[in-house]
Structure 1
Amino acid sequence: MFDNKEKTNIEALGEFGLINHLTKNIELVQKSTIKGVGDDAAVLDFEGKRMLVSTDMLLEGIHFDLAYTPLKHLGYKAIQVNLSDIYAMNGTPTQVTVAIGMSSKFPIEAVEEIYEGIYIACEKYGVDLIGGDTSSSKQGLVLSVTSIGYADAEDVVYRNGAQEGDLICVSGDLGGAYVGLQLLEREKLIYLENPNIQPDLEGKDYIVERQLKPEARKDVIDLLKEIDVKPTAMIDISDGLASEIMHICKQSSKGCSIYEEKIPLDPMTFETAREFNLDPTVCALSGGEDYELLFTVKQADYEKIKFKMDISIIGHITEPASGCNLITKSGNVHPLKAQGWNAFPNSESADK
């Protein structure tokens, strides 16, 4: 989890001393940040634009396992998954707040590693860390991030705008994060059985990184603006392709057809899934945590996007009576099911 160098107990600084220690080097870069850390609340000015706000939590034992999750990567990922929500609204993230709950087993050096990852993500994406909270926790490590951003009113994209005939598009490739998780879990079990055996992750860097260090797709939003394409509906893929397209269809009161042969899969994802006796398509449909963007566009925009290397057209929106369907490589039609990750496994609903 962290190395064996001498540790500094958090109690040596106290809550406010810890906050000052972690935030003393913050440099604000956003014009909209009037006041950041240091008062009862941050002060922002978006000059009449639509403000976008989203919050996500990462819980130890639920969303991550410290047996194989580096703390710096965890801090980085916590920011990324939140920025992804703002990009999914076709917006620009500008600020984040971070709340962290931790047990007494964490020395200051461990918390510094988490914040190092946070600061790297903030710098890369040009967002300001403007506040948050720290607390003790008896339930393990907890990270809660709120992201704030903006967009012009006419640029905001919701989930409910898909129209019959719209093309369904996805960025990047899918299933890698889930397959990477299976690999990490396997190596953890092997290590627990025999600590003398070192993890065997050689040649699997891509799918491991997809799980531990995802990237919010700011580049895709920039590309769509560059080619003058505004999606009719959009969502980020956190719970699997099937779950996310069903969210769009439900809120747009439409159906869809997704073509299995069009779903983008990286060769490493495909091959490793087969090693685990998993169906690569199912990994893409239900795995989640890819944080790619799933969006619909008008057919008139086809010529603008058809040759964009990092965008795949995987299907189209249909009338609601048709339902949500997967057309397999053999031409069979199967109803899509939302079998992605469920935050409340005892719940009867798979909805977010």
Structure 2
Amino acid sequence: MIEDKNQQRTGLAALGEFGLIEHLTQNIEIKQPSTLTGIGDDAAILDFKDKKVVISTDLLIEGVHFDLGYMPLKHLGYKAVVVNLSDIAAMNATPTQITVSIAVSNRFPVEALDELYDGIKLAAKGYNVDIVGGDTTSSQKGMILSITAIGEADAEDLAYRNGAGDGDLLVVTGDVGAAYMGLQVLEREKQVFQVNPNNQPDLDGYSYLIERQLKPEARTDVKAILKGLEIAPTSMIDVSDGLSSEIMHLCRLSGVGCNLYEEKIPVDPQLINTCEEFNIDITTVAINGGEDYELLFTIKQDDYDKIKGNPNFTIIGHLTQQSEGTHLITRANTKIPLKSRGWNALSNDEA
């Protein structure tokens, strides 16, 4: 990336911690009725009346979860919010508030954190969630982001990972695999740039894949769509660690097996073209890629007629008795064991 060497740089020390927090959080508006007080006191006060409260938190570490070589700070802020809202959506709940904590080294000026917060605020506005608190502190090296998301739901609407039953249909939103291939394209262009800094990346033809990697969206719309169809999901999880890994989570926690059909797995045409260019197997990417932030859920067979043909959803398989195990049914109608090769953050590698 070519950097503007003449851009304004205000050292963090010039504002101090409280000044920095005030600077970053100015003009934040409160929209949610459940937010009684937000930023400005020792703690936020929330009131959810008779709703159930859903909470999730995530840690993003530079060099492990993101690379600022090709991840713009505004995109990072946006994505950091989205990945947490996705966890709330995966409980079939509605996100309402977030807190944002940042640790940064002195290599980041105030202007860099302004960019990061522009992305955070954009996501909060787009998903109608309030920013109600957080913290800033120093880091010896790089950037660490921690976002906590809070949501609400009626008790009867909540969907867990352990509610699926034998015979239930396996459904996924959107398409899968694109975010992983977007990462492969960005990594390739980064290596080309390192060899020849004058060589500008050619990203034409990869726009969808790169957007799925740098600016994913949380499927907070699914709860209302399912309610409109009068479908209550029996279990639900978000596809952040790879489709096969998430299916196996649902099966293990629900005490069931499954048959996943290769020909049913939804993929984007851009993914197919890029996998062929990289000489990578499409199905391997689709089931193991991760970071898609789509929702994977199960429904009763009785709900089939309500969901068939809906453009938001694809039925990709069905659940079986646990004794039958978890399997991928290939296009050639071969039954092979489904393996979990999703992302494992603790090993910084594929598991």
Fold similarity call, TM over 0.5: yes
Name the structure 1 match of 2:297.
295
CA deviation profile, 1:140-195 (whole Å, cap 9, x unmatched) = 11111000011111111000000100000000000000000000000000000010
Partner of 1:218: helix, strand, or coil?
coil
| Contact map agreement 2:171 2:313 (CA 8 A) in 1 | yes
One-letter amino acid of the counterpart of residue 120, structure 1: L
Residue 298 of structure 2 is aligned to residue 285 of structure 1: no
CA deviation profile, 1:75-95 (whole Å, cap 9, x unmatched) = 000000000000000001000
Name the structure 1 match of 2:94.
92
Residue 264 of structure 2 is aligned to residue 262 of structure 1: yes
One-letter amino acid of the counterpart of residue 214, structure 1: P
User: How much does 1:108 deviate?
Assistant: 0.4
What does residue range 175-324 of structure 1 map to in structure 2 within 5 Å? 175-324=177-326
One-letter amino acid of the counterpart of residue 59, structure 1: I
Give me the whole-angstrom Cα distance separating, in 1, the residues matched to 2:68 and 2:226.
Answer: 37
User: How much does 1:110 deviate?
Assistant: 0.3
One-letter amino acid of the counterpart of residue 92, structure 2: N
2:82 to 77, 80, 83: 80
Give me the whole-angstrom Cα distance separating, in 2, the residues matched to 1:295 and 1:185.
Answer: 31
Give me the whole-angstrom Cα distance separating, in 2, the residues matched to 1:124 and 1:194.
Answer: 38
Shift in CA distance, 36/3, structure 1 to aligned 2, threshold 3 Å: farther
One-letter amino acid of the counterpart of residue 86, structure 1: I
| Contact map agreement 2:164 2:298 (CA 8 A) in 1 | yes
Give me the whole-angstrom Cα distance separating, in 1, the residues matched to 2:104 and 2:330.
Answer: 46
Give me the whole-angstrom Cα distance separating, in 2, the residues matched to 1:274 and 1:315.
Answer: 25
Name the structure 1 match of 2:130.
128
CA deviation profile, 1:236-257 (whole Å, cap 9, x unmatched) = 0000000001000000000000
User: How much does 1:203 deviate?
Assistant: 1.9
What does residue range 334-349 of structure 1 map to in structure 2 within 5 Å? 334-345=336-347
Give me the whole-angstrom Cα distance separating, in 2, the residues matched to 1:295 and 1:99.
Answer: 31
Give me the whole-angstrom Cα distance separating, in 2, the residues matched to 1:335 and 1:344.
Answer: 25
Give me the whole-angstrom Cα distance separating, in 2, the residues matched to 1:57 and 1:233.
Answer: 25
Give me the whole-angstrom Cα distance separating, in 1, the residues matched to 2:119 and 2:166.
Answer: 42
Give me the whole-angstrom Cα distance separating, in 1, the residues matched to 2:296 and 2:276.
Answer: 25
User: How much does 1:109 deviate?
Assistant: 0.5
Name the structure 2 match of 1:25.
27
| Contact map agreement 2:57 2:147 (CA 8 A) in 1 | yes
Partner of 2:201: helix, strand, or coil?
coil
| Contact map agreement 2:64 2:348 (CA 8 A) in 1 | no
Corresponding pairs, count:
349
One-letter amino acid of the counterpart of residue 10, structure 2: T
CA deviation profile, 1:250-294 (whole Å, cap 9, x unmatched) = 000000000000000000011101211111111111110000000
Partner of 1:77: helix, strand, or coil?
helix
| Contact map agreement 2:257 2:321 (CA 8 A) in 1 | yes
Give me the whole-angstrom Cα distance separating, in 1, the residues matched to 2:241 and 2:22.
Answer: 36
User: How much does 1:346 deviate?
Assistant: 7.8
Name the structure 2 match of 1:55.
57
Partner of 2:343: helix, strand, or coil?
coil
Give me the whole-angstrom Cα distance separating, in 2, the residues matched to 1:276 and 1:137.
Answer: 37
User: How much does 1:3 deviate?
Assistant: 4.0
Name the structure 1 match of 2:169.
167
What does residue range 36-55 of structure 1 map to in structure 2 within 5 Å? 36-55=38-57
Give me the whole-angstrom Cα distance separating, in 2, the residues matched to 1:108 and 1:203.
Answer: 35
TM-score by length of 2: 0.97
Shift in CA distance, 346/121, structure 1 to aligned 2, threshold 3 Å: closer
1:64 to 59, 66, 73: 66
Partner of 1:116: helix, strand, or coil?
helix
Give me the whole-angstrom Cα distance separating, in 1, the residues matched to 2:311 and 2:10.
Answer: 48
